[in-house]
């Protein structure tokens, strides 16, 4: 698998010295390689521990994975040093391991200047002190902190109290700042479906939850998928009537009239993206076929709207990693892509977790919603949502439509791929039969 190299600015506690390598003539920052597709903070923490035996906490990441000068700023959680690393001042690295600009930026952080909300020395100590106050438990073992995300106003880590209880701290920033408010609202609305919310920290836009177990397996069994589907259907039913509040807190608006109103804009974008395709591996969809897809989408929205299925909460990132199990129940996390829309969009997302057991997912949804919906409404929803779910996933919150000139090349390829998925879904016989009735 492809790896990328990071220069590591490892700051020693107390002295604020950097750990560096020397070849006898000059100093260099230590470097590690991590997987490109992995979470950088998590992998950096593991790589530095494996290579030098150091417990560190990543404060910030400079540059992008594509940048050959990418660097990570980290603070040592424990005072040990490791051979062949030696303590030096920031000035001793200028011109060899650090540029002048990087040196000034690092010096400012070390001296207590602005480095961002969480990119400052000692921040993790403030976080642990707050966690101790919130839980009434001591967290003296700094080496137990497992980090997942950092940088740009984001933070995600797990820490163990001295008696072995595990807790997660998460903080989000733009464009996911709304996750804080949505998570609080959902935990108050239906607490049994989420990890127990212990405390919130408004100025950090962060919250603390109890550890709830392990993620769902990548290919969940029939039994697992049945239980997860029932839990999600229950949660969605409980959210009916609270959708206005969710929208006001920043949930994506994926109600059918909204999705329908944006079809022309999305199809126009896809026509443009197909015209820009350079790869010959897969044939581009024609303009006429994309226009046909637009009409099928429009017909599908109208048909589903006619059934007046109540809007509910939708989890737009319903992958196995965002579903946790404690061995008894399943819990849902990571609501940055929360949305409001037709509940059967989530039914289709759950089917994607293991296509071999899609039938049980649909059976659970059919049974659960039969108490308030007629059989025809459910049949049409199950037939139409495979196509509409792909479209809703591409549309997301629609903000990218206003920034089409700045769409990144990788998003262009992603949009073309989803267009092909829509094309295949639009050829499904059950969908076509539903639209022809």
The residue with greater pLDDT, 216 or 65, is 216
**Is 394 within 8 Å of 267 (Cβ atoms)?**
no
Verdict on whether the full-model pTM lies above 0.85:
yes
Name the phi and psi angles at 362, rounded to 5: -65, -35
**Is 89 within 8 Å of 17 (Cβ atoms)?**
yes
Place of tokens 């549309």: 395
Q: Determine how many CB atoms are found less than 10 A away from the CB of residue 99.
A: 13
CB environment 184-202: b (16+ within 10 A), e (fewer): ebbbebbeebbbebeebbe
Domains of the chain (ranges; CATH) run 3-110 (3.90.79.10), 123-210 (3.30.200.20), 214-436 (3.90.1200.10)
433: its two tokens: 């039969």
The residue with greater pLDDT, 14 or 431, is 431
Q: What is the mean pLDDT of residues 153-159?
A: 93
pLDDT tens, residue by residue, 50-72 = 999 999 999 998 876 556 678 89
- DSSP letters, 276-319, are T----SSPPPPHHHHHHHHHHHHHHHHHHHTTTPPPEEEETT--
Instruction: Please report, rounded to a whole number, the percentage of residues in the chain having pLDDT higher than 90.
Output: 69
256, with CB counted inside 10 A (0-12, 13-18, 19+), is buried
Rounded to 5 degrees, what angle do the CA atoms 212, 214, 219 make? 140
Distance CA 14, CA 180 (A): 33
Distance CA 179, CA 206 (A): 9
Q: What is the mean pLDDT of residues 154-163?
A: 94
**Is 316 within 8 Å of 393 (Cβ atoms)?**
yes
**Is 315 within 8 Å of 232 (Cβ atoms)?**
yes
């Amino acid at each position: 698998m492809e790896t990328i190299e990071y220069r590591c600015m490892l700051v020693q506690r107390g002295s604020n010295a950097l750990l560096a390598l020397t070849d006898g003539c000059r100093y260099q920052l230590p470097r590690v390689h991590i997987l490109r597709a992995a979470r950088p903070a998590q992998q950096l923490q593991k790589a530095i521990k494996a290579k030098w035996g150091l417990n560190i906490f990543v404060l910030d990441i400079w540059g992008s994975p594509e940048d050959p000068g990418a660097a990570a700023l980290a603070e040592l959680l424990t005072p040990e040093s490791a051979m062949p690393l030696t303590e030096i001042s920031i000035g001793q690295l200028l011109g060899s391991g650090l540029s002048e600009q990087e040196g000034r930026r690092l010096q400012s952080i070390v001296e207590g200047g602005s480095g961002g909300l969480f990119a400052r020395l000692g921040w993790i100590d403030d976080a642990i002190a707050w966690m101790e106050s919130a839980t009434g438990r001591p967290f003296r073992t700094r080496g137990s902190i497992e980090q997942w995300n950092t940088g740009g106003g984001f933070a995600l880590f797990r820490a163990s109290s001295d008696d072995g209880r595990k807790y997660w701290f998460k903080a989000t920033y733009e464009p996911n700042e709304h996750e804080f408010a949505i998570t609080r609202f959902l935990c108050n609305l239906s607490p049994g479906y989420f990890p127990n919310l212990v405390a919130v920290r408004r100025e950090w836009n962060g919250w603390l939850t109890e550890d709830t177990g392990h993620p769902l397996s990548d290919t969940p069994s029939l039994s697992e998928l049945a239980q997860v589907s029932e839990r999600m259907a229950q949660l969605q039913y409980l959210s009916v009537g609270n959708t206005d509040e969710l929208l006001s807190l920043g949930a994506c608006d994926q109600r059918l009239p909204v999705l329908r109103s944006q079809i022309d804009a999305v199809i126009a974008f896809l026509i443009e993206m197909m015209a820009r395709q350079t790869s010959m591996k897969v044939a581009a969809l024609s303009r006429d076929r994309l226009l046909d897809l637009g009409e099928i989408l429009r017909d599908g929205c109208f048909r589903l709207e006619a059934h007046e299925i109540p809007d509910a909460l939708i989890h737009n990132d319903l992958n196995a990693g965002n579903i946790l199990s404690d061995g008894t129940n399943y819990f849902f996390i990571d609501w940055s892509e929360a949305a409001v829309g037709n509940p059967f969009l989530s039914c289709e997302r759950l089917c994607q977790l293991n296509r071999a057991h899609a039938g049980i997912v649909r059976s659970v949804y059919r049974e659960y919603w039969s108490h308030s919906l007629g059989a025809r409404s459910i049949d049409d929803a199950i037939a139409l949502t495979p196509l509409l779910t792909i479209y809703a996933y591409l549309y997301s919150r629609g903000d990218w439509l206003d920034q089409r000139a700045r769409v990144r090349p990788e998003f262009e390829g992603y949009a073309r791929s989803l267009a092909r998925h829509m094309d295949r879904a639009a050829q499904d016989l059950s969908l076509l039969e539903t639209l022809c009735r």
